[in-house]
């Protein structure tokens, strides 16, 4: 009933209020010092950036709010959704129209010099799982008027961040209560082999990141190897490569390739962690079927099947759209799916 009341009241307020006075949230940049990256060999700094969206009324009131932690996509920093995608307007409107009750959204930087941390824990890149599930949560609960319990914490991730959201729910259980992954990657292998993507010759010859130029696949996979095939003390990148050569001369190391897949792919992690996902108040993910990389589509379909097989309640929706097309747009996935999901799945009341 409370949900209905919120919606009704907000709708009426919206209708009677002058447009000029429409409620707006506020953005607050902040930083967190973390020891999770001590000794890392990838150039990750200890001071991590973050940004919080505080809903309209936050400052005037004393209420506590749930927090949705937003995990950015590869190559995006913590501000990209606000600076580029208009996320603040989406949140303002969704709260104003009662799509979701007022909440705090926190976005942090999960990038490494090579690209992405893959939201993983590695001796080369640091303990990103701990940073997210412990340090960041503690910092946010300490700084803002949050509802400081799992039932009121959500994870919302965008593509690579969607991967991070599901991964973190499996590997750091008991911290977050609901997960929404927008078009996650890394849920499984698709039609092409993983080892066919990077240029191993270029990777093997490179002396620094600059030598990779704008070879996107090689950069992404280097980040993956730093996360999942770390080899501390082996310059320049401190990784093992799961293969060498290219095309007809590709030579695969089956042991390293298997180790990479077992550590990286969510469908390999799931069998041992299904219970952690079952314990969530809500799990949802989606993907656009016209992603130019069909591997993502095929892998997400199969991952949805594996969740079903293991009895993990979830919503998994394939929609008309391509890679990231409709996440923060008006009427897009965040507004019509993710925020209503967090409206249903999180607890909004103090106990």
Q: Which is nearer to a copy of itself, 108 or 182 (CB)?
A: 182
Residue 88: CB minimum distance to a copy of itself, A: 21
Kindly tell me which of 5 and 33 has the beta carbon lying closer to a copy of itself.
5
| Shortest Å distance, C-beta 268 to a copy of itself | 8
Q: CB of residue 233 vs a copy of itself: minimum separation in angstroms?
A: 26
Contact of 286 with 316, CB cutoff 8 Å: yes
Minimum gap (Å) between residue 343 Cβ and a copy of itself: 13
**Pick 98 or 177: Cβ nearer a copy of itself:** 98
CB of 125 to a copy of itself, least distance (A): 23
Residue 9: C-alpha distances to residues 2, 98, 108 (Å): 10, 8, 32
Distance (Å, rounded) from C-alpha 242 to C-alpha 106? 36
User: What is the closest distance, in whole angstroms, from the C-beta atom of residue 152 to a copy of itself in the complex?
Assistant: 22
Q: Backbone phi, then psi, for 81, in 5-degree steps?
A: -65, -25
Token pair 């501390």 is found at 232
Choice between 45 and 252, CB closer to a copy of itself: 252
Q: Which is nearer to a copy of itself, 204 or 258 (CB)?
A: 258
Minimum Å gap between C-beta 133 and a copy of itself is 22
Token output for 208: 């620094």
- Residue 126 or 162: the one with the smaller Cβ distance to a copy of itself is 162
Rank residues 27 and 298 by Cβ distance to a copy of itself and give the closer one: 298
The neighbouring-strand residues paired with 243 are 252
* List of residues contacting a copy of itself (CB under 8 A): 1, 4-5, 7-8, 11-12, 14-15, 97, 189, 191-196, 243, 248, 250-255, 257-258, 261-262, 271-272, 274-275, 278, 289-290, 292, 294, 297, 301-302, 304-306, 308-312, 314-320, 325
Rounded to whole angstroms, the Cα distance separating 112 from 75 reads 9
CA proximity to 100, closest of 10, 38, 26:
10
**Least distance (Å) from a copy of itself to the CB of residue 145?**
27
Minimum CB separation of residue 287 from a copy of itself in Å reads 10
Nearer to a copy of itself, 26 or 290 (CB): 290
Residue 139 or 256: the one with the smaller Cβ distance to a copy of itself is 256
């Amino acid at each position: 009933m409370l949900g209905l009341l919120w919606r009704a009241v907000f709708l009426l307020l919206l209708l009677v209020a002058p447009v000029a006075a429409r409620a707006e949230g506020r953005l607050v940049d902040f930083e967190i010092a973390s020891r999770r990256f001590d000794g890392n060999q990838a150039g990750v700094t200890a001071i991590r950036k973050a940004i919080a969206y505080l809903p309209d009324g936050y400052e005037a009131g004393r209420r506590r709010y749930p927090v949705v932690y937003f995990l950015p996509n590869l190559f995006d920093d913590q501000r990209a959704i606000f600076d580029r995608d208009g996320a603040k307007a989406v949140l303002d409107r969704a709260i104003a129209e009662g799509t979701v009750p007022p909440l705090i959204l926190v976005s942090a930087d999960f990038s490494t010099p090579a690209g992405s941390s893959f939201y993983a824990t590695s001796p080369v890149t640091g303990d990103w799982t701990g940073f997210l599930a412990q340090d960041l949560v503690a910092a946010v609960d300490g700084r803002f008027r949050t509802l400081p319990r799992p039932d009121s914490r959500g994870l919302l991730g965008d593509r690579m961040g969607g991967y991070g959201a599901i991964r973190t729910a499996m590997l750091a259980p008991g911290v977050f209560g609901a997960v929404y992954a927008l078009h996650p990657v890394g849920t499984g292998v698709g039609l092409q082999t993983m080892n066919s993507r990077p240029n191993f010759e270029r990777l093997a010859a490179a002396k620094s990141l600059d030598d990779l130029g704008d070879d996107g696949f090689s950069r992404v996979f280097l980040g993956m190897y730093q996360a999942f095939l770390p080899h501390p003390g082996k310059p320049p990148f401190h990784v093992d490569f799961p293969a060498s050569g290219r095309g007809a001369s590709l030579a695969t190391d089956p042991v390293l390739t298997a180790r990479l897949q077992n550590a990286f792919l969510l469908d390999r992690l799931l069998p041992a962690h299904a219970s952690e996902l079952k314990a969530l108040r809500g799990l949802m993910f989606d993907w656009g079927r016209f992603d130019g990389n069909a591997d993502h589509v095929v892998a997400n379909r199969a991952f949805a099947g594996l969740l079903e097989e293991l009895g993990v309640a979830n919503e998994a929706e394939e929609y008309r759209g391509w890679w990231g097309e409709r996440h923060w747009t008006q009427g897009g996935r965040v507004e019509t799916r993710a925020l209503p999901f967090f409206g249903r799945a999180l607890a909004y009341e103090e106990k």
